[in-house]
Structure 1
Amino acid sequence: MTLRTLALAAALALGGPVWAQTPATAPAPAPAHAGSFADNPIVYFVITDRFLDGNPANDHSYGRTREAKPADDVGTFHGGDLAGLTRKLKDGWFKDLGVNAIWITAPYEQAHGWVVGGNKEFKHYAYHGYFALDYTRLDQNMGTEDELRAFVAAAHAQGIRVLFDVVMNHPGYGDLRSLSEYVNQSKTDKKAGVLWAGWEQATLRDYHSYIDYNDPAWLLWWGPDWIRSGLRGYTEGGRDDLTMQLAYLPDFKTESPKPVDLPPLLQHKPDTHAKALPNATVRDYLVSWLTQWVRDYGIDGFRADTVKHVEPASWAALKAAGVQALADWKAAHPKEAIDNAPFWMTGEYWGQGIERNAIYDAGFDNMINFDFQDRAREAVGTSLDTAKVDRLYSDYAKVLAAPARHNVLSYLSSHDTALFDRSRLVDAGSVLLLAPGGVQIFYGDETARPPGYAPSGDKQQATRSDMNWDAVDSTVLSHWRTLGRFRARHVALARGVHAKLADAPYTFSRITADDRVVVALGAAAARKIVVGNVFPEGSTVRDAYTGATARVTGGAVALTPQTNGVVLLEAAP
Structure 2
Amino acid sequence: MNRISDSMFHSRSAACKKPYGAVPAGQAVEFSVYPQRAQGALQVTLWIEEDGCQAESHPLHWCGYQGSHDRYTVTYTPPHPGLYWYYFSVELADGLHYCARGYGGQAELLEAVGDKYQLTVYDGEYHTPRWFGEGITYNIFPDRFCRDKAPEQPESEGVVERVLHQNWDDIPVYLPDEHGEILNNDFFGGTLLGVYAKLDYLESLHVTTIYFNPIFQAYSNHRYDTGDYKRIDPLLGCEEDFRALCSEAARRGMRVVLDGVFNHTGYDSRYFNARGHYDSVGAFQSKESPYFSWFDFHNWPNEYGSWWGIYTLPQVNETDGSYQNYIIEDEDSVVRRWLRLGASGWRLDVADELPDSFIQKLNAAARREKSDALIIGEVWEDASNKISYSERRRYFQGGELDSVMNYPLRDAIFGFLNGGTAEHFAESMECIRENYPRDVFYNLMNVVGTHDTARALTLLGVTENEWKMDRNGRAHYQLPPDRLEIALRRLRMAAVIQFTMPGSPTIYYGDEAGQQGFEDPFNRQTYPWGHENQELLAFYRKLCEIRAEEQTLADGDLQFSDTTAGALLRYERTSGDSRLVIAVNRGHQYVETKIDALYALDLLSGEGFAYADPDGLIVSVPPETAYILRCVNAAD
Unmatched tracts of structure 2, length 5 or more: 1-128, 175-183, 387-392, 462-486
Matches within 5 A, 1:92-491: 93-111=201-219, 126-174=220-268, 179-182=275-278, 217-219=285-287, 223-230=291-298, 232=300, 236-237=304-305, 249-257=313-321, 259=322, 280=325, 284=329, 288-297=333-342, 299-327=343-371, 342-352=372-382, 358-361=394-397, 362-381=399-418, 386=422, 388-398=424-434, 402=438, 407-422=443-458, 423=461, 424=487, 425-451=491-517, 459-491=519-551
1:505–1:460 CA distance, 2 compared to 1 (3 A): closer
Deviation (angstroms), 1:180: 4.1
Deviation (angstroms), 1:322: 1.4
Deviation (angstroms), 1:230: 4.4
1:560–1:58 CA distance, 2 compared to 1 (3 A): farther
State the identity as a percent: 20
Partner of 2:580: 517
Deviation (angstroms), 1:545: 1.1
Partner of 2:71: none
Partner of 2:630: 570
Q: Deviations over 1:15-38 (max 9, x none)?
A: xxxxxxxxxxxxxxxxxxxx9424
Moved more, 102-111 or 551-560: 551-560
Q: Deviations over 1:386-443 (max 9, x none)?
A: 5554455555555569566774323222222332243422232223223344432211
Q: Could you tell me how far apart the structure 2 residues matched to 1:418 and 1:160 are?
A: 27
Q: Could you tell me how far apart the structure 2 residues matched to 1:351 and 1:403 are?
A: 18
Higher relative contact order (CA 8 A, sep 6+): 1
Counterpart among 176, 186, 195 of residue 85 in structure 1: 195
1:468–1:493 CA distance, 2 compared to 1 (3 A): same
The code of the aligned residue for 2:516 comes to P
Q: Could you tell me how far apart the structure 2 residues matched to 1:249 and 1:488 are?
A: 40
1:235–1:320 CA distance, 2 compared to 1 (3 A): farther
1:104–1:555 CA distance, 2 compared to 1 (3 A): farther
Deviation (angstroms), 1:488: 2.8
Deviation (angstroms), 1:295: 1.0
1:355–1:512 CA distance, 2 compared to 1 (3 A): farther
Counterpart among 603, 611, 618 of residue 544 in structure 1: 603
The code of the aligned residue for 2:333 comes to S
Q: Could you tell me how far apart the structure 1 residues matched to 2:334 and 2:437 are?
A: 36
Counterpart among 53, 72, 85 of residue 147 in structure 2: 53
Moved more, 431-440 or 553-562: 553-562
TM-score, structure 2 normalization: 0.60
1:395–1:313 CA distance, 2 compared to 1 (3 A): closer
Deviation (angstroms), 1:161: 1.6
Deviation (angstroms), 1:528: 8.5
1:48–1:216 CA distance, 2 compared to 1 (3 A): closer
Q: Could you tell me how far apart the structure 2 residues matched to 1:407 and 1:312 are?
A: 20
Counterpart among 497, 500, 505 of residue 561 in structure 2: 500
SS at match of 1:450: coil
Q: Could you tell me how far apart the structure 2 residues matched to 1:432 and 1:347 are?
A: 19
Q: Could you tell me how far apart the structure 2 residues matched to 1:493 and 1:486 are?
A: 9
Asked if the contact 2:257/2:344 (under 8 Å) is kept, the reply is yes
The size of the alignment, in residue pairs, is: 445
Unmatched tracts of structure 1, length 5 or more: 1-34, 112-125, 186-193, 195-214, 261-278, 328-341, 453-458
Deviation (angstroms), 1:320: 1.5
Partner of 2:46: none
Q: Could you tell me how far apart the structure 2 residues matched to 1:349 and 1:527 are?
A: 36
TM-score, structure 1 normalization: 0.66
1:44–1:433 CA distance, 2 compared to 1 (3 A): same
Looking at secondary structure, tell me which structure has more helix per residue: 1
SS at match of 2:493: helix
Asked if the contact 1:354/1:371 (under 8 Å) is kept, the reply is no
Q: Could you tell me how far apart the structure 2 residues matched to 1:513 and 1:404 are?
A: 21
Q: Deviations over 1:15-69 (max 9, x none)?
A: xxxxxxxxxxxxxxxxxxxx94244353221101111112335565544232698
1:510–1:289 CA distance, 2 compared to 1 (3 A): same
SS at match of 1:358: coil
Deviation (angstroms), 1:150: 2.7
Partner of 1:5: none
Partner of 2:173: 72
Deviation (angstroms), 1:463: 1.8
